[in-house]
Amino acid sequence: NSMLSWQRTAFHFQPEKNWMNDPNGPMYYKGWYHFFYQYNPYGAIWGNVIVWGHAVSKDLIHWLHLPLAMVNDQWYDSRGVWTGSATILPDGQVIMLYTGSTNQSVQVQNLAYPADPSDPLLIEWVKHPGNPVIFPPPGIGVRDFRDPTTAWLTSEGKWRFSIGSKVNKTGITLVYDTMDFKTFERVEGVMNAVPGTGMWECVDFYPVSTKSDNGLDTSENGADVRHVVKVSLDEDRHDYYAIGSYDEKKVKFVADDSKNDVGIGLRYDYGIFYASKTFYDQRTQRRVLWGWIFESDSEVADIAKGWASVQSIPRTVVFDRKTGSNLLQWPVEEVDKLRLRSKEFKDMRAEPGSVVPLDIEAATQLDIVAEFEINKEAFEKAAPSNSSYVCSTSGGARQRGALGPFGLLVLADADLSEYTPVYFYVTKGRDGNLKTSFCSDQIQSSVANDVHKHIYGSFVPVLKDEKLSVRILLDHSIVESFAQGGRTVVTSRVYPTRAIYGAARLFLFNNATDATVTASVNVWQMNSAFIRPYHPDQSI
Ligand code: FRU
C-alpha cells in the first residue's frame, strides 16, 4: 500500500516489518552498538509471541538486522520473552537479565549469555540452565513482576538491580542483590514507592554527574552524583522520572522534588515515548536513552501497513546544570552525519496572525534548528493572568493569546489543509514573570479520521537572557522536538495524506495577537540511514 508506506521512517530504527515495542538490553560491545527489542515475528500487533529482535550498528544510526536473539522456546518464557537489560561485568562478560512470561503467565526473571563472547555481533544467545532464577516474592502479584534493570555494584562488591511492581495501587521498585548472578537475594522493602501510580514497568536507575556532561557508568556513585529513577506507568503509558539521592546503605531513593508528594513527577517526553531504557556508552562516555514510539493510528491501519512502532532517535541524557532540576535530552551527535544540504532563514519577521512559507525542497526528512524572539513591547504590554496555559487542554495553535502561539508548521501542504504546529506559548503571571509552554498540536495533522489528534506538551524552563529554541527531527510520520536544548521534549506521530513526499512544506507561523516574532531557522535535508538485514558474507 503505497499510501501507507509513506509513513515508514528513514532514519529512526524500525524492523523490516511487524510489531515492535520496548528497547531491550542496549549496550556497546567490541566495537558494536547492540540493540534488542520486543518483537512479534508474526504480525503488526502485540501478541502472545513476543521475542527479542536484534540489530547492530557502528554509530547508532545505520543498522544491520540480525537473527532473532531469543525466542519463546522454554516453559519459563513460552508466553513471551519480555523486557530485560544488559550488565557488562568488569571482565567484559555480558549478562542479560530478562523477564519470561511462563506457560502459566507467571512473570519470572531469567538469565541469558552470549554463546560466543568472541563474536562481536553476539549472534547466538544461550539461556541459563538454572532458569528461572527469580520468582515473584510473597505478596507480589505473579503478573506484576517484570523488566529487570541493568545491575550496579555496591561498595561491598555485590551486584544490585531493581524490578518494577505494585502493591494495590502503589508503584514500587523491588531490589535484588547477587554476588555471582546465580543466586539472588531479595533486599527487604522497596527502593522507592509512589501511591496511586499503579504498575511500574521498565524501571531504569542510573547516576548523572552534576559537574560534567560526561555520562556515568551505572555503578558510579559519590560526590557530584545524583541518581535518576525512571518508571513507565502502565496506567497512562508515559515515562516519568525523578532526580534524587540514592542511599546505598538504606537501599532508598529519595526524589529531590518530594515537596508536593509527586516522587516521580517529570516526563522524558510529553508526547509518545514509552518503556525507555538507557545504557552507558563506554566508547564516548555518555549515557544514551532509547524509547519506544508507538503509533497513534488504528490497529486496522497497522495491520494494513504490516508494521507498527518506531524507536526514538537515541538521545544523550545529562543533568541540566543550569536549572538543577531536570535532565537534558539531545539527539546523539552521530545524527548530524545524516545532514545534507542546509538552508538558512535569518531574522525572519512574523507579524501577529501570519504564516510565512520557508522555501525548501520536499519537507519530509528534516533536521530543523530554530530560535525565536518576541518584541519587548509586547512583553511589557501583556496583561498578567492567573490562569496557566496547558497544552493538552488548550485550543492548540488556533487559540490566540497576546504572546503566543508561534513556531513552525511541519508536514503541511501548500493549502494548509494539513499541518502540525510545533510551538511556544508564553504567558505572564500575576507576579509579572513569564511562563513558557512548548506544545505540538496534532488536530490539523491529517484529514484522516482514524488517528488520534492530541495536543501534547508542557512547560519549559527558560532562563534569563535565553532565546526560545527548538530542534525538530522530522522523519515522515514522526516529529521529535527538543525545546531549550532538550529540557522539554515532545514526540508525536502524524499521518498526513496530502502533506507527503514532494507536497510537504514547512512554514513559520505566529498566531499571537500582540507579539511580533523574529525567527532564525536552519533546515537540513536529512539522508536516509541504512537499516537493512545483515548477510554473513557481506563485508561490514
Ligand atoms: C512494556 C511491557 C513490559 C513487558 C513488555 C512485554 O511495554 O509491557 O512491561 O516486559 O512490554 O512486551
Closest ligand 1 atom to Cα of 164: 9
pLDDT band at 540 (very low <50, low <70, confident <90, very high): low
* pLDDT for the residue numbered 388: 87
pLDDT tens-digit profile of 159-212? 999 999 999 999 999 999 999 999 999 999 999 999 999 999 999 999 999 999
> Can you list the positions of beta strands (E) in 385-516?
403-412, 420-428, 434-441, 455-459, 468-475, 478-483, 488-493, 505-510
Q: What percent of the chain has pLDDT over 90?
A: 94
Ligand 1 geometric centre to CA of 414 (Å): 41
Distance of alpha carbon 414 from alpha carbon 503, whole angstroms = 7
**Residue minimizing CA distance to atom 8 of ligand 1:** 201
Cell numbers 551486584: residue:
159
Which residue segments constitute the domains of the chain, with CATH numbers given? 87-331 (2.115.10.20), 340-526 (2.60.120.560)
pTM: 0.97
Q: What percent of the chain has pLDDT over 70?
A: 98
* pLDDT for the residue numbered 361: 85
pLDDT tens-digit profile of 76-128? 999 999 999 999 999 999 999 999 999 999 999 999 999 999 999 999 999 99
Here the ipTM equals 0.99
> Can you list the positions of beta strands (E) in 93-219?
94-101, 107-114, 125-127, 152-153, 159-167, 170-178, 185-187, 193-194, 200-209
DSSP character at residue 412: E
* pLDDT for the residue numbered 260: 52
CB 526 within 8 A of CB 365: yes
In short, whether 202's Cβ falls inside 6 Å of ligand 1 is: yes
In short, whether 480's Cβ falls inside 6 Å of ligand 1 is: no
Ligand 1 pocket test target in 79, 101, 202 with most atoms within 8 Å of CB: 202
Burial environment of residue 156 by CB neighbours within 10 A (0 to 12, 13 to 18, 19 or more): exposed
* pLDDT for the residue numbered 176: 98
Kindly state the average pLDDT of the residues 523-538.
92
Ligand 1 geometric centre to CA of 82 (Å): 6
pLDDT tens-digit profile of 237-262? 999 999 999 999 999 999 998 665 56
In short, whether 101's Cβ falls inside 6 Å of ligand 1 is: no
pLDDT tens-digit profile of 449-488? 999 999 999 999 999 999 999 999 999 999 999 999 999 9
pLDDT tens-digit profile of 299-332? 999 999 999 999 999 999 999 999 999 999 999 9
Ligand 1 geometric centre to CA of 25 (Å): 13
In short, whether 488's Cβ falls inside 6 Å of ligand 1 is: no
In short, whether 295's Cβ falls inside 6 Å of ligand 1 is: no
* pLDDT for the residue numbered 362: 86
Please tell me the number of Cα atoms within 13 Å of 537 on its side-chain side: 0
* pLDDT for the residue numbered 257: 82
**Residue minimizing CA distance to atom 9 of ligand 1:** 201
Roughly how many angstroms between the first and final C-alpha of the chain, as a whole number?
32
Backbone angles phi, psi at 377, to 5 degrees: -60, -40
Kindly state the average pLDDT of the residues 332-360.
97
CB 513 within 8 A of CB 352: yes
* pLDDT for the residue numbered 180: 96
Ligand 1 geometric centre to CA of 232 (Å): 10
Please tell me the number of Cα atoms within 13 Å of 257 on its side-chain side: 12
DSSP character at residue 477: T
Distance of alpha carbon 130 from alpha carbon 361, whole angstroms = 58
Cell numbers 513558557: residue:
436
Closest ligand 1 atom to Cα of 83: 10
DSSP assignment of 234-299: TTTTEEEEEEEEEETTTTEEEETT-TTS-SS-EES-SSS-EEEEEEEETTTTEEEEEEEE---S-H
Closest ligand 1 atom to Cα of 38: 12
Which uninterrupted H or E stretch holds 304? helix 299-305
Ligand 1 pocket test target in 147, 149, 238, 277 with most atoms within 8 Å of CB: 147
Kindly state the average pLDDT of the residues 408-414.
97
pLDDT tens-digit profile of 12-60? 999 999 999 999 999 999 999 999 999 999 999 998 899 999 999 999 9
- Please check the confidence at residue 439 and state whether its pLDDT lies above 80: yes
User: Which CA distances in Å does 139 have to 19, 143, 165, 351?
Assistant: 33, 12, 11, 62
Ligand 1 geometric centre to CA of 21 (Å): 8
* pLDDT for the residue numbered 258: 67
In short, whether 83's Cβ falls inside 6 Å of ligand 1 is: yes
pLDDT band at 418 (very low <50, low <70, confident <90, very high): very high
Kindly state the average pLDDT of the residues 331-338.
98
Whole-number average pLDDT of the chain: 96
Residues designated catalytic:
22
* pLDDT for the residue numbered 263: 79
- Grid cell in block for residue 208: 548523572
> CA triplet 459, 461, 464: central angle to 5 degrees?
140
Position 525, amino acid: Q
Closest ligand 1 atom to Cα of 274: 7
* pLDDT for the residue numbered 424: 98
Ligand 1 geometric centre to CA of 50 (Å): 9
Cell numbers 554476588: residue:
179
Longest dimension (CA), the chain: 72
Burial environment of residue 19 by CB neighbours within 10 A (0 to 12, 13 to 18, 19 or more): buried
* pLDDT for the residue numbered 3: 61
In short, whether 99's Cβ falls inside 6 Å of ligand 1 is: yes
